[in-house]
Structure 1
């Protein structure tokens, strides 16, 4: 083989390897790692985030959850590769399009799972239990529970809740019942809103996105997200009065209710319009919602750390 041919072959191999690596990275959904920021919630509201040991445990929980979640995404893409090829948009995913082969996707998933578990072990066995629960639920979702109405909503919402719990158990922080209720129903509100948006799209265009949508109606999903929003608001208000009982931070805890409630109502506008497909995209493009979020975090920080 000539030198020119050898160089051409080497460039082709290198380009292919880079393409596969990039495809694996895309399939890992790095944008979704922002969800793992929820591990900061418990240390933040407990007033211990500035503690070095707590911060280190929280960072470990963040990295562990991000890697394990990426492992699940890769596993799901490999499992659904054949079905995704027939989908109008999912066919562009790296695994479905053939950029990343199914065996490579499974191998990458196993590597990420092992890495996430190893990092989680550094923070303690309690975090491993939470990661195990997350993996069990998500794998069940991938293998068929995603086609079961209501069950699919609860499993997706549990992913947010378990992230919040992970931050607490990794740092050894006791979790308030109100904290868990706000997180659980706030998560269900966002998930039901996303399904509502998918249902609206289905009714407008006929482009069904999920099999479970055939068993839902927009009125039912509206009931779920509206109920979840109401419970989340009520739980937060009760929690806010508990945060700093009898201290000077009480007034800021009460004030924090205002931006929290307004932010939920603002987000509900997008949900009601069928535009809540991806919560993180709404948060990134809605400047008013960002201001409300900052005001809420600021008031909450003053109530906890003042």
Structure 2
């Protein structure tokens, strides 16, 4: 039973909180219509994401077995058979489709879009340097757009740009963590990682972080002037993430759940936005 829970990667569901970005920043998070759909939307997207995680684990089973951490995953370690994993992936995606269709057509559309992009990433796109980072980043942006569709909230263009740049930061940090962890075994895990040097990833990380900070600053001016006072907190959070990424902890889920200072910074920022918007 524990293996089946692990294969879902429930800890990674924290990334699906991006669904609530538009209603949160739009001041509509606590409206009855939003709260009514919050749990079904979150479960629907989480089940879709888990179905992709399982599919990706099946395809990467041989490469994961040479990875110092991924070799302990249920499918790579042989605790869950491939045929059972396929059935579980299909079941989760089916439930996701049913729930998303009941929520709304456009949310249903974004669920399918996310699934197709991530399947494409798993099968081929992750072998193309730079494009693989954009594919990972697109997953976060699709979450924001899906949340906007589910809760009928039109997101600011600056908010979307901010989320995209933040997504590039998180995707690059993830790649940096992988390259740092694998070291001489990069080629055994994935050939595309050979194209990345730590210095190149650091440069991409700095550029995308700078762009994210500029976009967020412009968003605060456009949307709600008081939010500009949250920019120093966001700056500190970005600096902290840059630092721990270079220490090999760039995976977004691991960073947010294991680094107490970063988690506290995010919490303080969310509380400030909540206080100013509500």
Q: Same fold (TM over 0.5)?
A: yes
* Match of residue 71 from structure 1: 51
* Match of residue 275 from structure 1: 248
* Match of residue 3 from structure 1: none
Q: Please show how residues 10-29 of structure 1 align to structure 2 within 5 Å.
A: 21-29=1-9
Query: Of the two, which has the highest radius of gyration?
Result: 1
Alpha-carbon distance, 1:27 to partner: 1.1
* Match of residue 274 from structure 2: 301
Q: Please show how residues 35-54 of structure 1 align to structure 2 within 5 Å.
A: 35-54=15-34
For 1:235 and 1:153, how far apart are their aligned partners in 2?
19
Closer, same or farther: CA 175–73 of 1 in aligned 2, 3 Å: same
Does residue 257 (structure 1) correspond to residue 235 (structure 2)? The answer is no
For 2:54 and 2:241, how far apart are their aligned partners in 1?
30
* Match of residue 185 from structure 2: 207
* Match of residue 126 from structure 1: 106
- Does the aligned pair in 2 maintain the 1:243–1:304 contact within 8 Å? no
Of the three residues 262, 269, 273, the one matched with 1:289 is 262
- Does the aligned pair in 1 maintain the 2:50–2:89 contact within 8 Å? yes
Alpha-carbon distance, 1:101 to partner: 1.1
Which residues of structure 1 form unaligned runs of 5+?
Answer: 1-20, 245-249
**Structure possessing the higher relative contact order (Cα contacts under 8 Å, 6 or more residues apart):** 2
- Does the aligned pair in 1 maintain the 2:244–2:250 contact within 8 Å? no
Cα shift readout 1:207-247 (whole Å, capped 9, x = no counterpart): 32432110112222112111110110000000001223xxx
- Does the aligned pair in 2 maintain the 1:38–1:167 contact within 8 Å? yes
SS at match of 1:97: coil
SS at match of 1:94: coil
Of the three residues 133, 150, 161, the one matched with 1:170 is 150
Which residues of structure 2 form unaligned runs of 5+?
Answer: none
Q: TM-score, normalized by length of structure 1?
A: 0.85
Question: Number of aligned pairs?
Answer: 276
- Does the aligned pair in 2 maintain the 1:198–1:274 contact within 8 Å? no
* Match of residue 97 from structure 2: 117
Q: TM-score, normalized by length of structure 2?
A: 0.93
For 1:81 and 1:291, how far apart are their aligned partners in 2?
35
For 1:229 and 1:130, how far apart are their aligned partners in 2?
26
Of the three residues 206, 209, 220, the one matched with 1:229 is 209
- Does the aligned pair in 1 maintain the 2:209–2:238 contact within 8 Å? yes
RMSD: 1.7
Alpha-carbon distance, 1:257 to partner: 1.1
Closer, same or farther: CA 82–199 of 1 in aligned 2, 3 Å: closer
- Does the aligned pair in 1 maintain the 2:21–2:144 contact within 8 Å? yes
- Does the aligned pair in 2 maintain the 1:185–1:231 contact within 8 Å? yes
For 2:218 and 2:38, how far apart are their aligned partners in 1?
26
